[in-house]
Structure 1
Amino acid sequence: MKKYVMMMTLLITGSLMVSGCGRNAEQNSSNGSGGSNDTHTAATGEMHHSDSGELPHGLKEMADPTYPVGSQVMMSADHMPGMKGAQATITGAYETTAYAVTYTPTTGGEPVKNHKWVIHEEIKEHNKEPYKVGAEVVLEADHMIGMKGAIATIDSAEQTTVYMVDYIPTTGGDPVKNHKWVTEDELSAE
């Protein structure tokens, strides 16, 4: 019995430590910032910080981005704890449509509202043209557990340059490699 209790304690503690995102599915809706209701996780969701840099099929590099690969930038994005105010290095710049989406994870749980960002090329069997607000799509993005294969509703769509970045969270911890995605308006020159 003691082994079982210890094992469960370790499992729960480890899960909490590994989770890279906040636990509140509406983390920005009541913080008084007047900001959007963007999230990267539901109550049970976790980010996948793959450092592979693998890109969705068909994604095109931006020819002359504002922030070229190797640029040092400051992030104002607050998709997850430790991101806002972090110094980042650009590892990729791509021209696409970025979507904020609401979806219910395939693993169950509460809907994730206004998740930022899923790009056009991460939508299953995506159209040639960008989707409009309110469209229902199936996600191919695998940023979080339960995201891939989930049915989502488009909350907003923005034709923009999206960036893949490396950064060290302002909250401490291990460096994040090839984080997908940050939009141009969430970055500034140092």
Structure 2
Amino acid sequence: MANKFTLGIISFAAALTLAACGGENADDTTQNSTTQEESNAAPENNMNGENSEAMQGMDHSNMNHSGSGEVPEGLKDATNPTFPVGSKAIIQSDHMPGMKGAEATIVGAYDTTVYTVSFTPTTGGNPVTNHKWVIHEELEGVGEGVLQPGTKATINADHMKGMKGATATIDSAEETTVYMVDFTSTTGEQVTNHKWVTENELSAQ
């Protein structure tokens, strides 16, 4: 009888030990599963961040890099541009892939106010923020005074898909000389009448 009693106690203790081990394994499995889910989610979150950033003005793949050469009504030629029409300069901005470092030929030089703007394309999609550049003469019904940050105006330019007719919020404003340029990008694309490059985005050869 004593042996049976002792054997029963040992069996009971063994069962408790196995249950405890099973509980630890279950916790480990849950923890590992959670860790794996977090690991899998991380790239997705990073991707969403990158896409969000790209859609907010960093991605200019929808831009019309070449233009017609026409300029808005009322835009005045620069009186004494640093880079006269016909001269060459090196582009220091990167509005599009292959732009920075390309040699530009100056097609037009104009004194105006340039704005960075944020807007939601008329074609839908995520907002574009801090788009460079829209000039004063490309905004409808704004008069002659420089617009302050936060001001809203309708864009009358089609530098990129869904821009024309969109309501812009002014992010920044600067009175300067802007240039229309021809260039061959460092990736081999021929671009003509590109609008716009500002004075401080060009350097002498």
Q: Bin the TM-score by the shorter chain.
A: 0.7 to 0.9
Q: How many residues were matched structurally?
A: 155
**Alpha-carbon distance in 2 for matches of 1:40, 1:138:** 22
| Structure 1 position 181 matched with structure 2 position 192 | no
For residues 39-118 of structure 1, the aligned pairs below 5 Å read 39=58, 41=60, 46-118=62-134
| CA distance in 1 between partners of 2:68 and 2:75 (Å) | 16
* CA deviation after TM superposition for structure 1 residue 25, in Å: 6.1
Q: Which has the larger radius of gyration?
A: 2
3-state SS, counterpart of residue 187 of structure 2: coil
Deviation (angstroms), 1:141 = 1.1
2:183 aligns with: 167
Are 1:141 and 2:157 an aligned pair? yes
Q: TM-score, normalised by structure 1?
A: 0.77
1:129 and 2:134 equivalent? no
Matching of residues 14-29 of structure 1 within 5 Å: 26-27=53-54
Q: 1:51 to 1:134 in 2, by over 3 A?
A: closer
Gaps of 5+ in 1: 1-22, 28-36
- Per-residue deviation, residues 27-52 of structure 1 (Å, max 9, x unmatched): 5xxxxxxxxx85463xxx62224442
For 2:109 and 2:52, how far apart are their aligned partners in 1?
Answer: 28
CA distance in 1, matches of 2:123, 2:117: 17
Q: Would you say the 8 A contact 1:90–1:165 is kept in 2?
A: yes
Alpha carbons of structure 1 residues 126 and 99: separation in structure 2 relative to 1, 3 Å: same
Instruction: Report percent identity of matched pairs.
Output: 60
Q: In 2 relative to 1, CA 38–78 (structure 1 residues): closer, same or farther, beyond 3 Å? A: farther
